[in-house]
Amino acid sequence: MIAKGRNASELFPAVVKNVASKNIEIKKLVYVYLMRYAEEQQDLALLSISTFQRALKDPNQLIRASALRVLSSIRVPIIVPIMMLAIKEASSDLSPYVRKNAAHAIQKLYSLDPEQKEMLIEVIEKLLKDRSTLVAGSVVMAFEEVCPDRIDLIHKNYRKLCNLLVDVEEWGQVVIIHMLTRYARTQFVSPWKVDEVVDEYSENNFYASDEEQKEKDQKLKTTYTMDPDHRLLLRNTKPLLQSRNAAVVMAVAQLYWHLAPKSEAGIVSKSLVRLLRSNREVQYIVLQNIATMSIQRKGMFEPYLKSFYVRSTDPTMIKTLKLEILTNLANEANISTLLREFQTYVKSQDKQFAAATIQAIGRCATNITEVTDTCLNGLVCLLSNRDEIVVAESVVVIKKLLQTQPAHHGEIIKHMAKLLDNITVPVARASILWLIGEYCERVPKIAPDVLRKTAKSFTNEDDLVKLQILNLGAKLYLTNSKQTKLLTQYVLNLGKYDQSYDIRDRTRFIRQLIVPNEKSGALSKYAKKIFLAQKPAPLLESPFKDRDHFQLGTLSHTLNSRATGYLELSDWPEVAPDPSVRNVDVAESAKEWTGILGKPKKEKPPEKFYSESEEEEDESATTSSSGKCLESNLYFQQLAWKTVSSELSGSESDSESEKEDKEEGRTDESSGSSSPSEESTDSESDSKESAAKKTCRAVDE
């Protein structure tokens, strides 16, 4: 019923009775039901608490873990003390699986009652010392939820977490890597300063003398030395770039991006490109992060340029991101190849992608001056395209390009003015009118005629186009009032009674500035400076440029907005904090393990591979067998008595000498470990005496 979405809360009393069932499968189903309806039936849910408390003492670790998991999922404030006690006991459980569930329960209890934070931090501190790889990821997740600012809890466990990282489960690796990234940004100095020094020196090395070069090299050596713990983190996370889990690879990539020297960060590019063979959801996230990386460090992905070529089977969102990356990687060396690729993309049936390609061509023309004219001519050719969306986007991009160098492109403006009658997209029409109005002095014959045509269709135009018609009329009134004075007043009268409030407001504003009267203020004197001022050229930038302040691989970076629970990366410290805080005392670690595993077992003394006692036992065995063979001979009987007495005296002396040698060799060990060796030597001598007596009896017989 629950699976079908039906309300089964009425059956709560009948279902709760089965919580004490010995059948594990029935128990699991009851647990699922309790987690779903316990919050609605709080009074009845309390009836099952005693059963869970008994299950927490069950010999089976799976039952203990399940009981703790369900108990912590029952969101009833009354049982918070019981949950707290259960978590404390489970954190000391011998089973790592139960301790893992205790770490999961910490987050649930904290969300239910945040006042338990201090007690939960004590449990987290205890579990952070756990050396089980099964527990590490869960307790770090609890740390991130409850007390992410308590960096002091990580100091003693930093090296242990770095060393355990390879063996932790995949999703635990992601959590630990993100936590260690934040930790490293607070404990180590920036490794990027040395890269800046290297770049600065490399520019001047050509003209520098040998002595100056030696001084610079010496200064470079003393400038930065990476902390061993910093290097430990980078070294232990590097193998995870080969992980099958895309989230782990992305986590390592963001760690290298934020922590590694710039010369070493390039190793993540190959692994990220490998993820582009995954499903489209993974591709989308990876491409977003690559787009941010490629803005600041183009060299990382330039060798893999062809990996970002668009495929016909890619969805639009993937095509757009790949196009963004290709634009970021464009330079003088590969721009000709990319422009040929872009020509193919413009012909795509996906109109949104074709429009994005035209914008990319405009960005390339702005960033690489060598191909500006080529790109501009290509965009002008697109104005004759049958597709209105392509033409409209071309007009918008041409408008932005002409703002960068308008003096040489009067012919293009004339050509665009001729196309105005055929273009129906409001954005494109508005862009053409803005260009004609902005550079009306360069096309004095065409501009008044354009205003005349647009005045006829003013009432049928879009609001965006109407605003540009008003601007065009105002600029022509100030520069060529003889021809356009009456036409401008006609347009202003149309705008005065327009349905749109914005149009009416803009009309009143323009009229007061360009048509002075007695009520006009001082602003009317500066009308030309206001309308005809030179506008700054627009910057065609990547939309991913402003995402670098978010940590890579996070939800906030994907959304380009701060998400709930986002933890910012701190700036690098100028001076590194004391690294000795990460040193762990051996005695402390021993105490931790005795608390978990109980009393340590006494170690047996090491036995020699070829010991003297074995040789003596062999000799005693041979003498006993010879005694059996010579039963009837009295001479051999006396001889046997003599050999027995000599063996007894020899074994005692040998055991004493062995004991002295062993005591001298174990002077560093405790007195408790030496007692078993004494007992063992006594037992050996007793066994030899008993063997000798048996030999004597056999001889007597």
Which letter does DSSP use for residue 57 in this model? T
> What pLDDT sits at residue 675?
41
> What pLDDT sits at residue 216?
53
Average pLDDT over residues 267-294: 94
Please say if the pLDDT value at position 701 is more than 60: no
Q: Computed over its alpha carbons, how large is the radius of gyration of the chain?
A: 42
Using pLDDT thresholds of 50, 70 and 90, give the confidence band for residue 413: confident
Most confidently modeled range among 188-202, 295-309, 366-380 = 295-309
Average pLDDT over residues 128-133: 92
Please state, in angstroms and as integers, the Cα–Cα distance from residue 357 to each residue in 108, 393, 433, 581, following that order: 48, 10, 24, 54
Structure tokens at 143: 């740390």
Using pLDDT thresholds of 50, 70 and 90, give the confidence band for residue 618: very low
- CA separation for the pair 377, 371 (Å, rounded): 10
Which phi and psi (to 5°) does residue 572 adopt? -65, 140
Lowest mean pLDDT among 220-234, 258-272, 375-389: 220-234
Please say if the pLDDT value at position 335 is more than 70: yes
Average pLDDT over residues 381-405: 85
Lowest mean pLDDT among 147-161, 312-326, 579-593, 608-622: 608-622
Contacts by residues 327-330 (CB-CB < 8 Å, ≥ 24 positions apart): 327/360, 327/363, 327/364, 327/542, 328/291, 328/294, 328/295, 328/298, 328/542, 328/544, 329/294, 329/298, 329/301, 329/302, 329/305, 330/364, 330/367, 330/368
Tell which wins on pLDDT, 504 or 7.
504
Which SS3 state, helix, strand or coil, does residue 547 take? helix
Of 342, 304, 337, nearest to 323 (Cα)?
A: 342
- CA separation for the pair 139, 107 (Å, rounded): 9
Of 130, 61, 128, nearest to 97 (Cα)?
A: 61
Which SS3 state, helix, strand or coil, does residue 626 take? helix
Using pLDDT thresholds of 50, 70 and 90, give the confidence band for residue 215: low
Using pLDDT thresholds of 50, 70 and 90, give the confidence band for residue 425: confident
Please say if the pLDDT value at position 280 is more than 90: yes
Please say if the pLDDT value at position 671 is more than 70: no
Please state, in angstroms and as integers, the Cα–Cα distance from residue 613 to each residue in 607, 610, 619, 655, 663, following that order: 10, 9, 10, 8, 17
Please say if the pLDDT value at position 459 is more than 60: yes
> What pLDDT sits at residue 223?
59
Tell which wins on pLDDT, 601 or 110.
110
Please say if the pLDDT value at position 679 is more than 50: no
> What pLDDT sits at residue 528?
82
Q: What is the pLDDT of residues 554-610, one digit of tens each?
A: 999 999 889 988 888 888 988 888 888 888 775 555 554 444 444 444 445 555 444
- CA separation for the pair 64, 53 (Å, rounded): 9
> What pLDDT sits at residue 28?
84
Annotate 270-283 with DSSP letters as a single string: HHHHHGGGS-HHHH
> What pLDDT sits at residue 401?
86
Record the pTM. 0.74
Please say if the pLDDT value at position 325 is more than 90: yes
Average pLDDT over residues 331-337: 91
> CA-based angle 431:433:436, to the nearest 5?
110
pLDDT, averaged across the chain: 80
Using a 10 angstrom Cβ sphere, with 0-12 exposed, 13-18 middle and 19 or more buried, the burial of residue 43 is: exposed
Query: For 617-687, where are the E strands, in sequence order?
Result: none
- CA separation for the pair 402, 373 (Å, rounded): 11
Please say if the pLDDT value at position 519 is more than 70: no
> What pLDDT sits at residue 9?
76
> CA-based angle 166:170:173, to the nearest 5?
60
- CA separation for the pair 280, 62 (Å, rounded): 37
Average pLDDT over residues 68-78: 88
- CA separation for the pair 285, 292 (Å, rounded): 11
Please say if the pLDDT value at position 315 is more than 60: yes
Structure tokens at 400: 């932005």
> What pLDDT sits at residue 198?
44
Of 680, 552, 671, 696, nearest to 620 (Cα)?
A: 696
Average pLDDT over residues 310-328: 94
Structure tokens at 132: 């089980």
**76 conformational bin, left if phi > 0, alpha if psi -120 to 50, beta if neither:** beta
Residue with tokens 């930790």: 183
* Superfamily of structural domain 9-156: Leucine-rich Repeat Variant (1.25.10.10)
Q: Can you say whether the dihedral through the CA atoms of 193, 199, 203, 204 is positive or negative?
A: positive
- CA separation for the pair 45, 48 (Å, rounded): 6
- CA separation for the pair 286, 564 (Å, rounded): 22
Please state, in angstroms and as integers, the Cα–Cα distance from residue 521 to each residue in 148, 341, 450, 503, 524, following that order: 60, 56, 31, 22, 6
CB 447 within 8 A of CB 415: no
Alpha carbon 108 to its chain's center: 23
Structure tokens at 342: 């872009």
Q: What is the pLDDT of residues 472-507, one digit of tens each?
A: 999 999 888 888 889 999 999 999 999 999 999 999
CB 205 within 8 A of CB 213: yes
- CA separation for the pair 358, 356 (Å, rounded): 5
Lowest mean pLDDT among 31-45, 49-63, 270-284, 643-657: 643-657
Using pLDDT thresholds of 50, 70 and 90, give the confidence band for residue 384: confident
Please state, in angstroms and as integers, the Cα–Cα distance from residue 690 to each residue in 190, 384, 547, 647, 687, following that order: 75, 115, 86, 12, 5
